[in-house]
Amino acid sequence: MVLLRSHLPTLLVLLLSSIFSFSNSASIEENFIQCLSFYSDKAPPFSSSIVTPKDDSFTNVLDSSAQNLRLLVPSAPKPEFIFTPLNESHVQVAVICSKKLGIHMRVRSGGHDYEGLSYVSEIETPFIIIDLAKLRAVEVDIQDSSAWVQAGATVGEAYYRISEKSPVHGFPAGLCTSLGIGGHIVGGAYGSMMRKYGLGADNVLDAKIVDANGRLLDREAMGEDVFWAIRGGGGGSFGIVLSWKLNLVPVPETVTVFTVSKTLEQDATKIVQRWQEVAPNIDEELFMRVIIQPASTANKTERTISTSYNALFLGDADTLLQVMQQKFPELGLTKNDCLETSWIKSVLYIAGFPKDTPPEVLLQGKSTFKNYFKAKSDFVRDPIPETGLEGLWQRLLEEDSPLMIWNPYGGMMNSFSDSDSPFPHRNGTLYKIQYLTLWQDGDKNATKHIEWIRKLYNYMTPYVSKFPREAYVNYRDLDLGMNKKNSTSYIQATAWGNMYFKDNFNRLVKIKTKFDPENVFRHEQSIPPLPVSRLKDRKCNKWG
């Protein structure tokens, strides 16, 4: 019998998952392969898609897309094996077999999870990784202004394929081009066009997801509640997103980028103070973030603070200069600072690629940022006073290699209500802060750096959002709280759930309870189901 086709029919999935049995004497890997093979006698040998710690290639595959080296140290938990599906039906079968065998699974699309939740399980072993790296097709339909993009593709690959078909179409997603688009959009997906078009998640038309029973569902089949939940509700809670249908947006043939840096000796504090008032309220065609970090002074004997204004303007340089002269003359932007270019080349510029790097580099899908790091996030609703900034600079100068990135909101972001998607950080948000501390000596001094960023986070408490103190789900931070082994507690989860999702957290819990009542998809900060409702919801669940 040949069952591995584009997708497995629902009744067949349920029938086969109920009749397959496995051997108690075999290894997890052997039982998994046996289970996978049960679904087709003509499929390629599944053993070639599985890598175990015994294989020479294991470390390379595990490390291939993982961004945070802190989660790859020898002491970090390792999977029993990594399974790399070759098509959608492989993912369906993998879910069925994982559930049947009772083995915990983590799903990785791009490996950028800040706490490594897509490839490390601190609370549950044994576990396996389902790596979507081979599912990276991008199909662009310019006539329809849309594109179907598989979850394993990077945003850079999607950008390139869109620009290949049209120089005046784009998509408003991440600045980092090696982000896996599967996990990126489930967290919201902000980028340099968010002030013009909103988030990536705001520009999704359809999706395909594998649910806890191995069924492949599109938007109509999953229902509007689940479609709402997966566009900002965070990864690893509802199912495995296999692809997104993106709504492409218009971009000018010519855009303008610039980077202007100011140090403390060049009035950086006053300029940053002014930026807080200008950047969220300036023309929505302009995205102007600030990258803040220590730098050497001119005599190189001391350190100062450098603030770099890194921007994309959806228009020509002359128009940009008029806007800046009128709204933000304090920065002193000149024509020589500006670079007119195409939208696809602006992607490379904002991502930090060297000048004249060809766009084809985006097809490599490789991360240019691999470090040992710890990160946190905040949202700011009122400008930080100069005294607060001065205290911040002092603390940054105490750390070896800290980094802060301030991303402006406003524009189109103010047009959405907090409940339009699970991503609630909308109207009234001036900007988002990303805090990072980076190091290169493995786990040797990790505690020192992590303690530093925690103290910095505490210092910032008076200056950021309150009740709740908001955080960005795609900058996962386990300091905010985490689920325990075999216990996904609603009460415990509200601690971090309200910070990521505000009032949307309760709706996410209700959807989780209906769509995945057995909590098949879970991790340290997954959305919990309500245990009291499980038996009742299984009977009346409209999804099956």
- Answer whether the bond into residue 468 is a cis peptide, omega within 30°: yes
Query: Which tokens go with 142?
Result: 């310019």
pLDDT tens for each residue of 28-37: 898 998 898 8
**pLDDT of amino acid 293:** 98
pLDDT tens for each residue of 489-523: 899 999 999 999 999 999 999 999 999 999 999 99
Which domains does the chain possess? 28-131 (3.30.43.10), 138-250 (3.30.465.10), 255-340+371-460 (3.40.462.20), 483-533 (no CATH)
Strand partners, 107: 130
CB 83 within 8 Å of CB 94? yes
Compute the distance between CA of residue 83 and CA of residue 497 in angstroms, rounded to an integer.
Answer: 30
Q: What is the DSSP letter of 42?
A: S
**pLDDT of amino acid 495:** 92
CB 80 within 8 Å of CB 128? yes
**pLDDT of amino acid 41:** 53
Alpha helix ranges (H) inside 4-76:
10-19, 28-38, 58-63
pLDDT tens for each residue of 293-324: 999 987 777 999 999 999 999 999 999 999 99
- Catalytic site includes residue 39: no
Helix (H, G, I), strand (E, B) or coil at 69: helix
pLDDT tens for each residue of 337-384: 999 999 999 999 999 999 999 999 999 987 767 899 999 999 999 999
State the average pLDDT for the chain: 92
Residue 24: pLDDT band with limits 50, 70, 90: low
Residue 441: pLDDT band with limits 50, 70, 90: confident
**pLDDT of amino acid 7:** 52
Sequence letter at residue 388: G
Query: Which tokens go with 182?
Result: 């599967």
Opening angle at CA 111, ends 460 and 195, nearest 5: 55
**pLDDT of amino acid 472:** 98
CA distances from 11 to 14, 16, 17, 461 (A): 5, 9, 10, 53
Residue 2: pLDDT band with limits 50, 70, 90: very low
Largest CA distance in the chain: 75
Q: Decide if pLDDT at 110 tops 90.
A: no
Residue 111: pLDDT band with limits 50, 70, 90: confident
Average pLDDT value for residue range 137-150:
98
Opening angle at CA 212, ends 501 and 515, nearest 5: 50
Sheet of 127-131: strands edge to edge? 50-51, 82-83, 127-131, 104-108
Catalytic residue among 190, 475, 490, 500: 475
